Amino acid sequence: MTEQTPPLIKCQDVSYNINGNSILDSISLEFQFKSWTGILGPSGSGKSTFLRCLNRLISFSDGSITYHNKPIESYPPSKLRKKICLIQQKPLMIPGSVRENLTVVKDWDPEFKTTNSLLEKTLNQVGLQALILDQDARSLSSGEQQRISLARGLLNNPEVLLLDEPTSNLDPRLARQILDTIQSLAFENNLTIIMVSHDHSLLKKYATDVGIMINGKLIETGPPTILDHPREHDSIQFLMKEPS
Ligand code: ADP
């Protein structure tokens, strides 16, 4: 019998309550090494909150999350957030050059070290020219800013990328280009991807697994084919209303 590889991240009955409201309700989900999991669900269903629990940007109220078989609370938050790196929907650019944006981490992380050649290599990895290092980051297009945000994450050698609607500000062609880049990076660097997206065509193209979250509950999980053939009543109702 072949031994099953343990999941890279395992969530067991994770709940999050705030001001007496249940935002996440007993979520159990495993993420395998090098998988690409898509999470979708109506707005306000807790998807972003769940991503934030995974790298301790917020502390869940109940349940457990393990990373490499150890409780995530056993990792210093700053180290965990480098390994499990959140890329926000809207890239946050500080005033200044691309170089300043890529190295801003050094202001609070004394361990952060980089070199010009590493910055150039990382920009190339995300499909940008090293020439833009000294350009004003805010003058760049939203697609370029999203790539810079990705490069900033990659400089920390992450193992997991949490992508929160990473392409919702981009047109479909640019969205595919950036996800193609992420797919190559994931392949080259053994990354595990957890992506919130409402775009069925992108989920079907890139995800290996999909989870449907409604009202803080994980209703259904499976391969992306569940988007066309959901089993659960609530998923069927939700997917019928969604443009595919
Ligand atoms: P989604 O990403 O699925 O759109 P969110 O995780 O952003 O959903 O939000 C889920 C619910 O939790 C929403 O109703 C939101 O208003 C609420 N929520 C999230 N964070 C807080 C907070 N800090 N205080 C109060 N309510 C919150």
The CATH code of the domain that includes 229 is 3.40.50.300
Instruction: Give a yes or no: residue 80 inside a domain.
Output: yes
Q: How far apart are CA 55 and CA 150, in angstroms?
A: 16
User: Domain of 220?
Assistant: 9-88+161-241
Nearest CA to ligand 1 atom 23: 18
3-32 average pLDDT score: 94
The closest residue, in CA terms, to atom 24 on ligand 1 is: 18
In a domain, 106, yes or no: no
Residue 1 pLDDT > 60: no
Residue 165 C-alpha to ligand 1 middle, in angstroms? Answer: 15
Which atom number of ligand 1 is nearest to the Cα of residue 46?
6
In the predicted model, what is the mean pLDDT of the chain? 92
Give the tens place of pLDDT for each residue, 131-157: 889 999 999 998 899 999 999 999 999
Q: Tell me, in angstroms, the distance from the centre of ligand 1 to residue 187's CA.
A: 32
Tokens of 148: 């810079």
Is residue 31 in a domain?
yes
Residue 116 placed within a domain: no
**Banded pLDDT at 73 (limits 50, 70, 90):** very high
What pLDDT does 105 receive? 80
Task: Classify strands 21-31 and 9-18 as parallel, antiparallel or unpaired.
Answer: antiparallel
The two beta strands, 36-40 and 209-214, are: parallel
Q: Does residue 109 register a pLDDT over 80?
A: no
| pLDDT for res 114 | 84
Residue located nearest, by CA, to atom 27 of ligand 1: 18
Contact 128, 148 (CB under 8 A): yes
pLDDT surpassing 90 at residue 88: no
Q: Is residue 222 part of a domain?
A: yes
Residue nearest (by alpha carbon) to ligand 1 atom 13: 44
Helices (H), the chain: 47-54, 77-83, 98-102, 116-125, 142-154, 172-189, 200-206, 233-241
What confidence tens digit (pLDDT) does each residue in 162-204 have? 999 988 877 888 889 889 999 999 999 999 999 999 999 999 9
Total number of domains constituting the chain: 1
Which amino acids bring their CB within 6 angstroms of ligand 1? Answer: 18, 23, 41, 43-49
Q: DSSP letter at 168?
A: T
Ligand 1 centroid–CA 44 distance in Å is: 6
* DSSP per-residue codes, 126-166: TT--GGGGGSBGGGS-HHHHHHHHHHHHHTT--SEEEEEST
**Domain assignment of residue 132, yes or no:** no
Atom of ligand 1 nearest to the CA of 23: 12
Between residues 2 and 112, the one the model is more confident about: 112
Pocket test for ligand 1, best of 21, 23, 50, 51 (most atoms within 8 A of CB): 23
pLDDT, greater one: 24 or 114: 24
Residue 186 in any domain: the answer is yes
Q: Coil, strand or helix: which one is 55?
A: coil
Residue 45: what pLDDT?
97
